[in-house]
Structure 1
Amino acid sequence: MKKTVLLVLVVLILVSCTSVKTHNEQITKLHPVVDLHEDIDKVYNQLKRHHPKLYQYTPKEVLDFKFDSLKEAIKTPINSREFYKKLAPVVSQVKQGHISLGSANKWYTKKERKQLLKRKFEFYALDFEYLQNKLWVKSTRGKDSTVVGCEVVKIEDDLVSDLIDVYKTRFSSDGYNTTLHNRYVGRRFSSFYYKDKGYVDSLRVTFKNEDSLFIKTLRRIEKKKKSKKKDSTKIVKPVKLTSAEKKANRIAAKKKRKFNRMHGFIKKYKTYTRNFRFVEEAEDVAYMKLRGFTNGNYKRFYKESFAKLDSAKTKYLILDLRDNGGGRIAEIDYLYSHLTNKQYKFIEDSEVNSRIPFLKFLMSNTTPNSIKVLSGLASPVIVVQNLIRTRKQEGKLYYRFRQTRLRGPRPLHFTGDIYVLINGNSFSASSLISTHLKATKRATFVGEETGGAYNGTVAGIYKLYELPNTKLKIRMGMMQIEAPQKQSPDGYGVMPDIEISSSIIDRNLKKDPEFDWVIKDIERKR
């Protein structure tokens, strides 16, 4: 028995090493032109099969021309990374923000991954922001804070302004919006640079502080190990806790875990997805910062928060959706039920391209075989559920979510004035709830146009498809998610009532002009 187990483990290790080697050879070799053309056709065919609003912003004849022109332009073999650089700008012409194309990155063996985890890259500790057509260091999770507030001018021999112009062509917002491009390219700059250049051990970066330039070389450095040596001069006897103290510690730890789940603790940044506080001691003004709708026990958070608002008889609520990339429909529906005072229908039935969208999603070529087997076993249930929820109307298929039902506000819904802070990174679900609040004139919007479209977006569930030759992966939404309300012209986000954009001076002085405007407006109302 032991020999059998050992043999299985050896086989698995050999298969894993072979697959890593095969993948790395595949993405670095020069692909024949015919294979590159095949992958272009595969991408376009996948979009046609699964994306229900493919030609919403770009007409079919224009998109056909873009893909055909790309094929004509590729006349010599290239590797997967270079192919990504050519294909991504064409895919972005669909102008649907939930479509993304990934670059082909190197795979690592278990041993290599273990070694990589022992080191950290100083460049990745920097958080960037693109303001006033320049890339700035917004903050750092490293120890060197001297670069915070500085402009990034060059990386190696590349001007950052040139890199930004290129990276903006490799992704899209919903429709004709531009605010997402500026916000997103800054927020994800490190990721775009990695897709562009691949793995590097060091980077020579030129920074600008006021009128002076300086250069820093950012490296991969060893993570500090926790010292196991004990200082013999400081012998600390272990404190023996009483039963009552042990119980108190367990209760405190449990309470902390509960708090972290409810607020959605983000370990990487040591912060929370959901935050709530009163701005003034009088509890007249409350501030709710939501960084996303993705993790944690949201129902408990909103129940407790709105109970506090009701108890304090709060008059003003500031809802901060800046840099909120979206998340669960169920969460924003639940939140909205605490903000509205009328009956509402949260979303329309979702247009889809298949009667069994969830099975199509589960059976993608990137889905692990174990999941495919389980999906196959559960397919009778999945198919029946999909067929029950899918209907055909005027030649189109629609899937019905439970959020399409008419419903009323929660008993403890907020009745005071609402201010919503938005920017270009307010995307997807945060744009959807903003559409409701804007259309019903329930809130005053401050900031800049949302990156997500007012009239909805194609999201819901996603198809992740790997191209057979270059191994690039394309991700696309499969369901049109939209509120009942619409605006004209199509292709733009939720517009602010008060347009304000922060500057780098505001950042360096730790000022928040959008928030400050709201506080002044509340004082004026008083």
Structure 2
Amino acid sequence: MKKLIYAILCYVLLTISSSAQTLNPDQLRADFDRFRTALNEVHPEMYRYTPKPVFDSLFAATAAQLNRSMTQQEFYCAMNPLLVALRDGHIKWIVSGRDEHYPFATEQLFPLKLYFLNDKAWVVANYGTSTIPEGVELISINGLSIPAILQRLLPKMTFADGNRIGGKYEDLNHFFSGYYATFIGAPESFDVVYREGNEQKTLRLSPTTESAIKAYTEKHKPATQPPFRLTVTDPQTAVMTIDRFWAGKDEPDFDTFLKTSFRDIKARNVQNLILDLRNNEGGEEAWGVKLATYLSDQPFRYYDHISVRQKKKYSFPAWTPKLYVKLRWLVLKKQGEGYVFTKHRGLKKQKPNQNAYRGNLFVLINGSSFSVTTELAARLHADRRKRAGNVTFVGQETGGGYKVNSSGIFTITQLPNSKIDLGIGMFGFNMANVSGYPYADRGIIPDHLVEPTINDVVNQKDTVLDYTMKLIHSPKAALTRSN
């Protein structure tokens, strides 16, 4: 859902601004007040991961910094700890008119595509004219070691729910150059140290541009495929891949896909279904609920409740979908200090579809399994003891949180002086019957941790799928019902 919301932000609040713009303390404080008011009135789960007293201290510390003039970039970075404290991967903090990953520097960007795993980095490709071989380990950039760079960047990144870092690593794999420029610098050259075989080498690299990075990405993106597809690999095994839970008007209908696919799975008597949810950042919540009815053999509850912060009109200028504004008096109900949204399919008790799959299910996940995708994975994980067939999770921990996902409809406000857009998901989707999960700030932890190596990435080898196939066909397959 992250890319979809970004497109909406650009469409609704397209205002070009300059990072060189200087803001005086009065302007900074006005933007700070708008920011704080918006979070307090909109965010449904503001204190889930960071208690209010800690948040209040962070607000006070940030306000104290705004006693001098700042550039737009300095203000952007000064507000960053407040965004990180939300532990909400859906929060949007975007300089109007700019790509969210390249908010300031566009001409002096790091010229290598990297792959990060734990505290190391490897070269996947060259965006510019450098000749560093693919697959070599990168040791340092301009005197900073890779662990030191990660210590600088990871605490400033927001693409994660709770205390997850998997989503942050996935973001670095795609947008490291932008993060480096924003939070470390955009120098005229980059002195890199890398290890090739047993030899350590040094090379000075010229920077690249945002347009060159995007041209490379476009050229090397995978061949276009339907966003959801079913492949039967052998008489008893099938792979269902869901790239996203939304589709364009010219793409296949999701309901039709599910009906046809599960009817075929049942007719073929498939015993092992692999559900590939890797790199699926989400989409329509109702689609996750629908798919869950095809993977359950007993009635179940999907959401426990959907929290909303307030019912009255916001006290600040903002964009919110007109339909919601008109209907909020009918669909919101008071609960505790806030409200709950009452009209959603996922709040009703769900019945299994007549063609629901009951065999062994293998769910593939990673750090980019987010939003609706994590909700579905959490539902399958929480209910797996009830299924006839085993449910086994393979890959890496999800980027989204297990127990709650703050997203849905967004309210968007533009800070009046810095011209930075703040987008806040209005709904807190709290999953039903997940109290037994022992981690309050984690995602779905796989039963089998499988992390692709740099050789897998460079050679485009799907080691997670290969591992899962071995699990299925091994006489001693480690199928997991619960843990």
Q: Which amino acid aligns with 1:336?
A: A
Gaps of 5+ in 2: 1-14, 100-105, 213-217, 478-483
Residue in structure 2 matched with residue 217 of structure 1 by the alignment: 206
Distance 1:135 1:521 in 2: 29
Indicate the SS of the match to 2:362: strand
Which segment drifts farther, 75-84 or 432-441?
75-84
Distance 2:246 2:183 in 1: 28
CA distance 1:493–1:169, change in 2 (3 Å): same
Q: Which amino acid aligns with 1:461?
A: I
Once the two structures are superposed, the pairs formed by residues 346-361 of structure 1 within 5 Å of their partners are 346-355=302-311
Distance 1:147 1:461 in 2: 45
CA distance 1:106–1:179, change in 2 (3 Å): closer
Residue in structure 1 matched with residue 156 of structure 2 by the alignment: 170
Is structure 2 residue 262 aligned with structure 1 residue 276?
Answer: no
Match of 1:289 among 237, 241, 260: 241
Which segment drifts farther, 459-468 or 172-181?
172-181
Match of 1:179 among 166, 174, 178: 166
CA distance 1:348–1:40, change in 2 (3 Å): same
Is structure 2 residue 279 aligned with structure 1 residue 323?
Answer: yes
Q: Which amino acid aligns with 1:287?
A: V
Residue in structure 2 matched with residue 521 of structure 1 by the alignment: 471
The one-character-per-residue Cα deviations of 1:369-426 (angstroms, maximum 9, x if unpaired) are xxx9xx7xxx6x7555332222123443111212212232222222211011222222
Residue in structure 2 matched with residue 51 of structure 1 by the alignment: 43
Distance 1:408 1:433 in 2: 15
CA distance 1:333–1:467, change in 2 (3 Å): same
Note if contact 1:288-1:317 (Cα within 8 Å) is conserved in structure 2. Answer: yes
Match of 1:425 among 349, 354, 368: 368
Is structure 2 residue 119 aligned with structure 1 residue 136?
Answer: no
CA distance 1:341–1:62, change in 2 (3 Å): same
Q: Which amino acid aligns with 2:163?
A: Y
Q: Which amino acid aligns with 1:459?
A: S
Is structure 2 residue 441 aligned with structure 1 residue 491?
Answer: yes
Match of 1:458 among 394, 403, 406: 406
Match of 1:336 among 276, 292, 296: 292
The one-character-per-residue Cα deviations of 1:417-445 (angstroms, maximum 9, x if unpaired) are 10112222221111100111111115111
Distance 2:124 2:242 in 1: 19
The one-character-per-residue Cα deviations of 1:190-247 (angstroms, maximum 9, x if unpaired) are 44245458999x8657473443534543545999xxxxxxxxxxxxxxxxxxxxxxxx
Indicate the SS of the match to 2:274: strand
Note if contact 2:110-2:190 (Cα within 8 Å) is conserved in structure 1. Answer: no
The one-character-per-residue Cα deviations of 1:241-272 (angstroms, maximum 9, x if unpaired) are xxxxxxxxxxxxxxxxxxxxxxxx99964333
| TM-score for both structures, normalised by structure 2 | 0.78
Match of 2:334 among 392, 402, 405: 392
Is structure 2 residue 262 aligned with structure 1 residue 306?
Answer: yes
Deviation at 1:278, TM superposition (A): 2.3
CA distance 1:122–1:169, change in 2 (3 Å): closer
The one-character-per-residue Cα deviations of 1:52-74 (angstroms, maximum 9, x if unpaired) are 21111111111111111122234
Once the two structures are superposed, the pairs formed by residues 500-515 of structure 1 within 5 Å of their partners are 500-508=450-458, 510-515=460-465
Distance 2:364 2:110 in 1: 28
Deviation at 1:473, TM superposition (A): 1.8
Q: Which amino acid aligns with 1:33?
A: P
CA distance 1:327–1:60, change in 2 (3 Å): same
Distance 1:125 1:185 in 2: 14
Q: Percent identity?
A: 24
CA distance 1:436–1:276, change in 2 (3 Å): same
The one-character-per-residue Cα deviations of 1:9-34 (angstroms, maximum 9, x if unpaired) are xxxxxxxxxx75xx33xx42321123
Distance 1:32 1:427 in 2: 38
Distance 1:327 1:267 in 2: 24
CA distance 1:32–1:203, change in 2 (3 Å): same
Distance 1:126 1:292 in 2: 28
Q: Which amino acid aligns with 2:300?
A: Y
Gaps of 5+ in 1: 1-18, 108-119, 224-264
Deviation at 1:40, TM superposition (A): 2.0
Deviation at 1:92, TM superposition (A): 0.7
The one-character-per-residue Cα deviations of 1:264-310 (angstroms, maximum 9, x if unpaired) are x999643333343223xx33211223232233432233333323322
The one-character-per-residue Cα deviations of 1:164-186 (angstroms, maximum 9, x if unpaired) are 33322223322222333333333
The one-character-per-residue Cα deviations of 1:329-351 (angstroms, maximum 9, x if unpaired) are 12212221221112222223311
Indicate the SS of the match to 1:323: coil
CA distance 1:388–1:71, change in 2 (3 Å): closer
Note if contact 1:152-1:205 (Cα within 8 Å) is conserved in structure 2. Answer: no
Distance 1:187 1:59 in 2: 32
